[in-house]
């Protein structure tokens, strides 16, 4: 192999490494933000009246008003309860959703385009879902591999467990930080990697289990893990959801209601299913089933089911940290930042070992910190436009890439500045759109942290410029 071919292969390897690291970063940073997906939904519509509880009559009134306004046939109807994690009442079908007040009167339609785009970015990287899920799951498996191999390869894991050398070589500080974050949060990283890989491999797991235990019958394997629907043949009537809800106080007094689904709406197989959070359990819910007339049929059996069944039904809460309210979300947010920093620092350590190739380094900074500005501007667009947010976000990312290639002075400090200014601009747009509602709890719980982040980013940009100017001066003096 001649020298030119080897160099081309090396360049291709470098670009592939940057691209893979970028994908890992995007999954990690979007997942860290998506921990607060319920808070983002509230943030997008901060003026909606909030409540802590509702009664069955309120839900009946809200659903009656909804059906009167949308009488078209639908396969499902849903009610999202204020105890779901979002303190609002929502009634919806397969096509549209409305908020309702404490009297059951319909308010405005539910609209959370930025939150949906963010979740889609984390779960599918905004790709077609079948392909995106496979790719993201593969990245989850890569995270597990990196964590395990990183720990095994560390020669002084006990000695260096609490070493963080701030003075002297900046590269050594990055290496210490990378190693500490990788070690301290390794259990969390493995949980995220395994559960993330599971979501894309669930279909493969079903195929494997069906071949091993059910003679290839996939339906039988799924029924063993997820309780099948009840078999009913009844008169088609308007489902008595209020009657079903009223029974939950006696059936499951300690369970918080998450949401309700009317399955097979308008058919003899129609039934009501109420999803309720089981106390002291990691499972997503225990499901209580009722027929069309609100008569209790039984539970889905997740709360007391086989440990394997409970484990599968716990994957969502394990992955998103939605099991102990705000404290678990904050913990997952901090640990998610650590995992994101791990991705960034690992790549920067590698770039430094390669003497920081100018174009490759600029592109990396543009993709990492430029993605923050792209998310902020995309959020601002969602407040004033109905444009496709996926198209907006990736168009902005393309602009960042072009700028980083074309302009040699677009270093790390530049992209920190762009990120900080973009977040501040988004907050200004938010204030102009929502006015006084920008001071509600639903708005401030995110606006305040985002404002602090913008100040930090601008401060960081200033510090980096000072450091760069100092090094330039020392070089000239030398």
- Predicted confidence at residue 21, as pLDDT, reads 85
Please check whether residue 107 is in contact with residue 167, taking contact to mean a CB–CB distance below 8 angstroms. Answer: no
- Predicted confidence at residue 275, as pLDDT, reads 97
- Predicted confidence at residue 305, as pLDDT, reads 82
Tell me the C-alpha distance between 10 and 16, whole Å.
10
Q: Report pLDDT digits (tens) over 310-354.
A: 888 888 898 888 888 889 999 999 989 988 988 888 888 888 887
Q: How confident is the model at residue 307 (pLDDT cuts 50, 70, 90)?
A: confident
Tell me the C-alpha distance between 225 and 219, whole Å.
10
Q: Report pLDDT digits (tens) over 406-435.
A: 888 888 899 999 999 999 999 999 999 999
Pick from 50-54, 62-66, 91-95, 108-112: least confident:
50-54
Give the residue among 405, 354, 367, 353 at the shortest CA–CA distance from 11.
354
Q: Report pLDDT digits (tens) over 157-182.
A: 656 656 666 665 566 666 766 777 77
- C-alpha distances out from residue 228 to 220, 221, 223, 297, 299, Å: 10, 11, 5, 13, 11
- C-alpha distances out from residue 149 to 23, 27, 139, 143, 160, Å: 20, 20, 15, 10, 17
Give the residue among 260, 282, 242 at the shortest CA–CA distance from 93.
260
Tell me the C-alpha distance between 420 and 370, whole Å.
10
Q: What are phi and psi of 360, to 5 degrees?
A: -65, -40
Please check whether residue 185 is in contact with residue 179, taking contact to mean a CB–CB distance below 8 angstroms. Answer: no
- Predicted confidence at residue 286, as pLDDT, reads 95
Question: Rounded mean pLDDT of the chain?
Answer: 87
Place of tokens 């639908």: 74
Spatial strand order in the sheet of 296-299: 106-109, 97-100, 89-93, 77-80, 256-263, 271-277, 286-290, 296-299
What's the distance, CA 210 to chain centroid?
A: 30
Tell me the C-alpha distance between 69 and 262, whole Å.
18
Q: What are phi and psi of 73, to 5 degrees?
A: -70, 150
3-state secondary structure the chain: CCHHHHHHHHHHHHHHHHHHHHHHHHHHHHHHHHCCHHHHHHHHCCCCCCCCCCCHHHHHHHHHHHHHHCCCCCCCEEEECHHHCCCCEEEEECCCEEEECCCCCEEEECCCHHHHHHHHHHHHCCCCHHHHHHHHHHHHHHHHHHHHHHHHHCCCCCCCCCCCCCCCCHHHHHHHHHHHHHHHCHHHHHHHHHHHHHHHHHHHHHHHHHHHHCCCCHHHHHHHHCCCCCCCCCCCCCCCHHHHHHCHHHHCCCCEEEEEEEECCCCCCCEEEEEEECCCCCCCCEEEEECCCCCEEEECCCCCCCHHHHHHCCHHHHHHCCCCHHHHHHHHHHHHHHHHHHHHHHHHHHHHHCCCCHHHHHHHHHHHHHHHHHHHHHHHHHHHCCCCHHHHHHHHHHHHHHHHHHCCCCCHHHHHHHHHHHHHHHHHHHHHHHHHHHHCHHHHHHHHHHHHHHHHHHHHHHHHHHHHHHHHHHHHHC
Both structure tokens of 104: 């059951």
Q: What are phi and psi of 286, to 5 degrees?
A: -105, 140
Q: Determine the Cα angle at 357 with ends 355 and 360, to 5°.
A: 140
- Predicted confidence at residue 475, as pLDDT, reads 59
Please check whether residue 365 is in contact with residue 373, taking contact to mean a CB–CB distance below 8 angstroms. Answer: no
Q: Report pLDDT digits (tens) over 354-409.
A: 777 888 889 999 999 999 999 999 999 999 999 999 999 999 999 999 999 888 88
Pick from 113-122, 204-213, 237-246: least confident:
204-213
Q: How confident is the model at residue 47 (pLDDT cuts 50, 70, 90)?
A: very high
Q: pLDDT at residue 148 above 70?
A: yes
Place of tokens 């096509």: 95
Q: Report pLDDT digits (tens) over 248-268.
A: 999 999 999 999 999 999 999
Tell me the C-alpha distance between 475 and 460, whole Å.
22
As a whole-number percent, the residues of the chain with pLDDT over 90 amount to 54
């Amino acid at each position: 192999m001649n020298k030119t071919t080897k160099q081309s292969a090396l360049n291709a390897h470098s670009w592939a490494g940057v691209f893979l690291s970028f994908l890992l970063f995007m999954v990690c940073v979007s997942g860290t933000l998506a921990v607060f997906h319920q808070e983002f939904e509230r943030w997008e519509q901060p003026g909606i009246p909030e409540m802590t509880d509702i009664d069955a009559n309120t839900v009946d009134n809200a659903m009656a008003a909804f059906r009167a306004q949308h009488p078209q046939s639908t396969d499902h109807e849903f009610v999202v309860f204020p105890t779901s994690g979002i303190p609002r009442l929502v009634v919806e079908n397969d096509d549209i959703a409305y908020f309702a007040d404490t009297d059951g009167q319909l308010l405005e339609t539910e609209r959370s385009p930025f939150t949906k785009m963010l979740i889609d970015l984390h779960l599918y990287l905004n790709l077609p879902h079948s392909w995106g899920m496979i790719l993201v799951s593969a990245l989850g498996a890569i995270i597990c591999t990196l964590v395990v191999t990183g720990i095994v390869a560390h020669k002084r894991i006990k000695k260096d467990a609490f070493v963080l050398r701030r003075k002297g070589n900046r590269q050594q500080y990055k290496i210490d930080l990378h190693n500490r974050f990788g070690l301290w949060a390794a259990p969390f990283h493995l949980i995220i990697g395994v559960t993330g890989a599971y979501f894309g491999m669930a279909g493969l797991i079903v195929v494997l289990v069906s071949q091993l235990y059910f003679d290839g019958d996939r339906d039988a394997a799924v029924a063993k893990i997820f309780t099948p629907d009840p078999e009913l043949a009844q008169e088609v009537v308007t489902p008595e959801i209020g009657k079903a809800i009223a029974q939950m106080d006696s059936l499951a007094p300690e369970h918080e209601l998450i949401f309700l689904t009317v399955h097979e709406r308008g058919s003899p197989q129609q039934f009501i299913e109420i999803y309720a959070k089981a106390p002291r359990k990691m499972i997503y819910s225990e499901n209580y089933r009722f027929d069309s007339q609100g008569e209790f049929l039984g539970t889905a059996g997740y709360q007391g089911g086989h440990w394997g069944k409970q484990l599968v039904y716990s994957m969502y809460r394990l992955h998103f940290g939605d099991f102990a309210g705000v404290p678990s979300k904050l913990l997952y947010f901090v640990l998610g930042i650590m995992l994101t920093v791990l991705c960034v620092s690992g790549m920067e350590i590698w770039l430094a070992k390669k003497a920081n190739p100018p174009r490759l380094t600029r592109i990396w900074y543009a993709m990492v910190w430029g993605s923050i500005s792209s998310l902020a501007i995309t959020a601002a667009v969602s407040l004033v436009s109905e444009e496709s947010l996926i198209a907006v976000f990736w168009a902005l990312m393309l602009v960042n890439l072009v700028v980083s290639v074309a302009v040699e002075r677009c270093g790390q400090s530049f992209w920190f500045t762009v990120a900080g200014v973009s977040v501040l601009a988004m907050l200004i747009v938010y204030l102009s759109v929502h006015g006084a509602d920008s001071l509600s709890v639903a708005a401030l719980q995110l606006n305040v942290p985002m404002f602090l982040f913008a100040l930090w980013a601008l401060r960081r940009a200033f510090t980096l410029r000072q450091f760069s100017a100092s090094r330039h001066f020392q070089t000239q003096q030398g």
